[in-house]
Chain A
């Protein structure tokens, strides 16, 4: 149970219950679909980017608590940030999942560090990373990403 509390921290459970920035945008400049065929996690990310700043970002879809909370907290994190900084978060989140995050990254990620516990569960890393994969696809204008596909350089 202690390990589980480490994984399912209150913040994660809370975002799962009440996801922020949830629902599609009618007008957007970027969009991507992310899907994990193994467990069915299925999300769309919508963004409005103006002058290289993420003005709006929302997500829509279904999935487990880890993926949903990751998506919710991701949107709150990158809203209002530059695209460059969003990409930095993507890299840092990924590094955290690989247990390779340096101290600066730790500092920068801030409360997203609640997902560190997921890194200890190899079969759940894909859940936490899926929204970030999808964000990456949206920024780079790929239509979609799958945790099983080769569309994304992160797979392998």
Chain B
């Protein structure tokens, strides 16, 4: 990353960067849009949109199958993205970077391809109280099918994982660990490298759910020693429809593919099919070519700004927001105050988050209100839901001011 920091201009024109995002320049309910729902889906810069238009208007075609020029060009762009993903994750080789439909599919691919093949009754799979439903439900399906034991590492009151409890949960019966890297509901950055070391100490592989880490942190799957790492492109300034699924070569090679179909085979007869090599073994059928190519453009865009710069910018906006929000009596923050990404999960007195969301929306402020697909986490905090403002580097202090102003409307209306 150091080479990249050197290339980055010392002073970044964040206003110019914001202008790269055409969607932000609009009014909602007659107010300037303050888009603060980036943890659900981030927005797309013009550079990525242009790339999509270029693909659709000049070389849209299927990949890995045609001898014609368009197909070759599409294949090259598709495979270029794989290389960019490898660099983005610092994976050893391109073949370890697989495209799925999203993070959810990546986790399911591991459950089916590794879990169903290698785990048996009585084996323990360790997850945490902080997981997104997509990292709970597949393991419950495996539990119900195979009789594995699902162990849940508790969370502290301030929304962190207790490493001692983690250590206790991992025993020689532990055969797999699946853990969220950064919490989508609270923003907590988990000590995932230490957790990986604990898993590996008993010989268990680890899957890291990096959905919320990928857009904000500099990643190095080799340094973290991730066996599997998943993320979703729509949270990384690209489009819906594609996810990143990284696996160590030796893991991917011994796993079964999740889906069967075209492209994932070397030969097919009615007696026998020979699977293709990785990554193709895991990419059955025509992949989401346009979203993959868009992801390539998004990674170039993020890398050009510099991921350290992005993290710094988001931390600054978070600090600016917290300073103002902390002066509101009825404001209650859920989750930790540091070692976190720019996610603000909050309540206002006893106002229901859904009402907060509506009032904020009327002020042009887009946040998410709900359980954030983390019902066990909400239950642990003793609340049905939170309002969540999630900041991206292209937000600015006007967005934060709009948020604070709208929260003041909430306290005024509800007398909170």
Residues in chain A within 8 A of chain B (CB atoms): 1, 3-5, 7-8, 13, 38-42, 62-66, 68, 121, 123-124, 127
Q: Do B359 and A4 touch across chains, with their CB atoms under 8 A apart? A: yes
Query: Are A13 and B413 in contact, with the CB atoms below 8 A?
Result: yes
Interface contact B409-A65, CB-CB below 8 Å: no
Task: List the A side residues contacting B370 at CB < 8 Å.
Answer: 38-40
Q: Are A3 and B355 in contact (CB under 8 A)?
A: no
- Tell whether A4 pairs with B354 under 8 Å between CB atoms, given A40-B371, A42-B384: no
Interface CB pairs A-B, < 8 A, 26: A4-B359, A4-B362, A4-B413, A7-B358, A8-B413, A8-B414, A13-B415, A38-B370, A39-B370, A40-B354, A40-B370, A40-B385, A42-B384, A62-B384, A63-B352, A63-B384, A64-B352, A64-B354, A64-B355, A65-B352, A65-B414, A66-B355, A121-B358, A123-B358, A124-B354, A127-B354
CA separation between A41 and B385, bound complex, in Å?
Answer: 10
A5: chain B residues within 8 A (beta carbon) = 413
Bound CA–CA A124/B358 (angstroms)? 8
Question: Given A4-B413, A63-B354, A124-B354, 10 other A-B contacts at CB below 8 A?
Answer: A3-B362, A4-B362, A8-B413, A39-B369, A39-B385, A40-B371, A40-B385, A64-B354, A65-B355, A68-B352
Of chain A, the residue at the smallest CB distance from B385 is A40
How far apart are the CA atoms of A39 and B353 in the complex, in Å? Answer: 9
B residues within 8 A CB of A64?
352-355
Could you tell me the distance in whole angstroms from the C-beta of A11 to the nearest C-beta in chain B?
14
Chain B residues within 8 Å of A7, by CB: 358
Question: Ordered nearest first, which 8 A-B pairs have the shortest CB separation?
Answer: A64-B352, A64-B354, A40-B384, A39-B354, A65-B355, A64-B355, A40-B385, A8-B413
Residues of B within 8 A of A (CB): 29, 351-355, 358-359, 362, 369-371, 384-385, 409, 413-415
B355 contact set on A, CB distance < 8 A: 8, 64-66
Tell me the complex Cα distance, A4–B359, Å: 7
Chain A residues near B352: list those with CB within 8 A. Answer: 63-65, 68
Q: How far is the CA of A28 from the CA of B414 in the complex (A)?
A: 34
Q: How many A-B residue pairs have C-beta atoms within 8 angstroms? Tell me.
A: 48
In the bound complex, residues from chain A placing their C-beta under 8 Å from that of B384 are 40, 42, 62-63
Q: Please give me the residue from chain A that is nearest to B352 by CB atom.
A: A64
A38: chain B residues within 8 A (beta carbon): 370
Q: Which of B355, B369, B409, B414 is the most central at the interface, judged by chain A CB atoms within 10 Å of its CB? A: B355
B contact residues around A65 at 8 Å (CB): 351-352, 355, 414
Which of the listed residues B351, B362, B415 has the most CB atoms from chain A within 10 Å of its own CB? B362
Chain A proximity of B353: nearest CB distance (Å)? 8
Q: How far is the CA of A68 from the CA of B355 in the complex (A)?
A: 11
Q: Which residue of A lies closest to B409 (CB)?
A: A1
Among A4, A5, A124, chain B packs the most CB atoms within 10 A around the CB of A4
Chain A residues with Cβ below 8 Å from B413 are 4-5, 8, 13
A4 to B413, CA, bound (A): 8
Residues of B within 8 A of A39 (CB): 354, 369-370, 385
When C-beta atoms are compared, the residue in chain A nearest to B358 turns out to be A124
How far, in whole Å, are A56 and B371 apart by their CA atoms in the complex?
33
Considering the complex, give the chain B residue whose CB is closest to the CB of A63.
B352
Q: In the bound complex, how far is the Cα of B28 from the Cα of A3, in angstroms?
A: 14
Q: Give the chain A neighbours of B385 by CB distance below 8 A.
A: 39-40
Q: How many Å from the CB of B408 to the closest CB on chain A?
A: 11
Q: In the complex the two chains form, what is the Cα distance from A66 to B356 in whole Å?
A: 12
* Nearest CB of chain A from residue B416's CB, rounded to whole Å: 11
In the complex, what residues of A have CB within 8 A of residue B353's CB?
Answer: 64
Find chain A residues with CB under 8 A from B415 CB: 13
Known: A4-B362, A121-B358. A13 touches B369 (CB 8 A): no
CA distance A5 to B385 in the complex (A): 24
CB distance from B8 to the nearest CB of A (A): 41
A33 to chain B, nearest CB (A): 15
Distance to closest chain B CB from A42 (angstroms): 7
How far apart are A16's CB and chain B's nearest CB, in angstroms?
A: 8
**CA of A66 to CA of B357, assembled, Å:** 13
In the complex, which residues of chain B have a beta carbon less than 8 angstroms from the beta carbon of A123?
Answer: 358
CB <8 Å contact, B371 and A4 = no
Whole-angstrom distance between the Cβ of A145 and the nearest chain B Cβ: 18
**Minimum Cβ distance to chain A for residue B382 (Å):** 12
**How far is it, in angstroms, between the C-alpha of A125 and the C-alpha of B159 when the chains are bound?**
33
* Nearest CB in chain B: distance from A60 CB, A: 14
Instruction: Collect the chain B residues with CB atoms within 8 Å of residue A42's CB.
Output: 384
User: Nearest residue in B to A1 (C-beta to C-beta)?
Assistant: B409
Given the interface contacts A121-B358, A124-B358, does A4 sit within 8 Å of B351 by beta carbon? no
Nearest B residue to A123 by beta-carbon distance? B358
What A residues does B371 contact at CB under 8 A?
A: 40
User: For the complex, what is the distance from the CA of A82 to the CA of B119, rounded to whole Å?
Assistant: 59
Assess the B414–A4 pair: CB atoms within 8 A: no
Q: Which residues of B contact A63 (CB under 8 A)?
A: 352, 354, 384
The answer on a CB contact under 8 Å between A13 and B409 is no
Shortest Cβ distance from B412 into A: residue:
A1
Contacts of A40 in B (CB 8 A): 354, 370-371, 384-385
* A1–B406 CA distance with the chains assembled, in angstroms: 10
Q: Roughly how many angstroms separate A44 CA and B415 CA in the complex, as a whole number?
A: 27
In the complex, residue of chain A having the shortest beta-carbon distance to the beta carbon of B29: A3
